[in-house]
Amino acid sequence: MSGGPDINGSEVAELETSLGHVFDDKSLLLSALTHPSLAGLKGGRGLGTYERLEFLGDRVLGLIVAEMLYRTFPQEDEGALARRFAELVRRESIARISAAIGLGRHLRLAASEAGSGGRDNPALLADAGEAVIAALYLDGGLEAARRFVEPAWRPLVAEEISPPQDAKTALQEWAQGQGLALPAYALASTAGPAHEPRFVVEVRVEGHGKATGSGKSKRAAEQAAAAAILARIDPDGFKP
> Which residues are identified as catalytic?
58, 130
34 φ, ψ (degrees, to nearest 5): -100, 115
- How many beta carbons lie within 10 A of that of residue 44, not counting itself? 19
DSSP 32-56: HTB-HHHHTSTTTTT---HHHHHHH
153 φ, ψ (degrees, to nearest 5): -90, -15
Closest by CA to 171, choosing from 148, 201, 146, 141, is 201
List the end-to-end C-alpha distance of the chain, in Å, as a whole number. Answer: 41
48 φ, ψ (degrees, to nearest 5): -75, 155
What angle (nearest 5°) sits at the alpha carbon of residue 113, between those of residues 110 and 114? 85
Q: Strand runs (DSSP E) across the chain, as ranges?
A: 184-191, 198-204, 210-215
